[in-house]
Structure 1
Amino acid sequence: MIKTLAEWSKQELLMLALPHEKTDWKPYLDEILQGYKDFIKAVSAYQKVLLIAPNEADFKPFKDFQNVEFFQCDTNDTWIRDYGAIDICENERLMSLDFSFNAWGNKFQSQLDNEVNSKLFKQHFKSELRTIDLILEGGSIDFNGQGVMLTTKTCLLNENRNSHLNQGELEAKLKQIFNLKTIIWLENGFIKGDDTDSHIDTLARFIDEETIAHCICEDEEDEHFLPLLKMKEELQKTGFKLVELPLPKPLYYEGRRLGASYANFVFINEALILPSYADEKDELIKERLQKALPQRKIISLDARVFLRQNGSLHCACQNRFLGQR
Structure 2
Amino acid sequence: MSMNDSWLRDTGPTVSYCFLSVEFKLYLLLTVTPHWKLQELLSLSMQFVIRNTAENAEHVASSVAGIDWTFNRWGCADDGCYKDWSHDLLIARKILAIGKVPRFKHSMILEGGSIHVDGEGTCLTTEECLLNKKRNPHLSKEQIENELKAYLGVRKVIWLPRGLLGIHSAHKLIVFCDDDTNGHIDNMCCFGKPGVVLLSWTDDQSDQQYERSFEALSSDANGRKIQVIKLHVPGPLYMTNEEANGIFQDGDAKSRTSGTRLAASYVNFYIANSAIITPQFGDKKWDEEAIRILSLAFPDYEVSKELDLVTICKGH
Normalised by the length of structure 2, the TM-score is 0.71
Moved more, 207-216 or 74-83: 74-83
Task: Kindly state the Cα deviation for residue 189 of structure 1 after the two structures are TM-superposed.
Answer: 4.2
**Which residue pairs with 2:129 in the alignment?**
155
Instruction: Kindly name which structure, 1 or 2, has the bigger radius of gyration based on alpha carbons.
Output: 2
Instruction: Report matched runs for 1:231-242 at 5 Å.
Output: 231-234=216-219, 238-242=224-228
Q: Distance in 2 between matches of 1:235 and 1:219?
A: 23
Alignment: residue pair count: 237
Q: Taking structure 1 as reference, are residues 182 and 120 closer, same or farther at Cα in structure 2, changes over 3 Å only?
A: closer
Task: Kindly state the Cα deviation for residue 236 of structure 1 after the two structures are TM-superposed.
Answer: 7.4
Instruction: Report matched runs for 1:125-274 at 5 Å.
Output: 125-192=99-166, 194=178, 195-234=180-219, 238-254=224-240, 255=258, 256-274=260-278
Q: Distance in 1 between matches of 2:96 and 2:159?
A: 32
Q: Does 1:77 align with 2:5?
A: yes
Aligned 8 A contact 2:165 2:208 in 1? no
TM superposition outliers: structure 1 runs of 4+ over 6 Å: none
Q: Residue 103 of structure 1 aligns to a residue in which SS?
A: coil
**Which residue pairs with 2:87 in the alignment?**
112
Q: Residue 174 of structure 1 aligns to a residue in which SS?
A: helix
CA RMSD after TM alignment: 1.8
Higher relative contact order (CA 8 A, sep 6+): 1
Per-residue deviation, residues 61-80 of structure 1 (Å, max 9, x unmatched): xxxxxxxxxxxx32211111
**Which residue pairs with 1:275 in the alignment?**
279
Aligned 8 A contact 1:139 1:199 in 2? yes
Gap runs ≥5 in structure 2: 20-61, 168-177, 241-257
Q: Distance in 2 between matches of 1:80 and 1:177?
A: 19
Q: Distance in 1 between matches of 2:226 and 2:96?
A: 36
Aligned 8 A contact 2:13 2:95 in 1? no
Q: Taking structure 1 as reference, are residues 250 and 235 closer, same or farther at Cα in structure 2, changes over 3 Å only?
A: farther
Higher helix share: 1
Task: Kindly state the Cα deviation for residue 179 of structure 1 after the two structures are TM-superposed.
Answer: 1.8
Aligned 8 A contact 1:148 1:182 in 2? yes
The percent of aligned pairs where both chains have the same amino acid is 31
Normalised by the length of structure 1, the TM-score is 0.69
Task: Kindly state the Cα deviation for residue 212 of structure 1 after the two structures are TM-superposed.
Answer: 0.2
**Which residue pairs with 1:305 in the alignment?**
311
Q: Output the amino acid matched with 2:3.
A: T
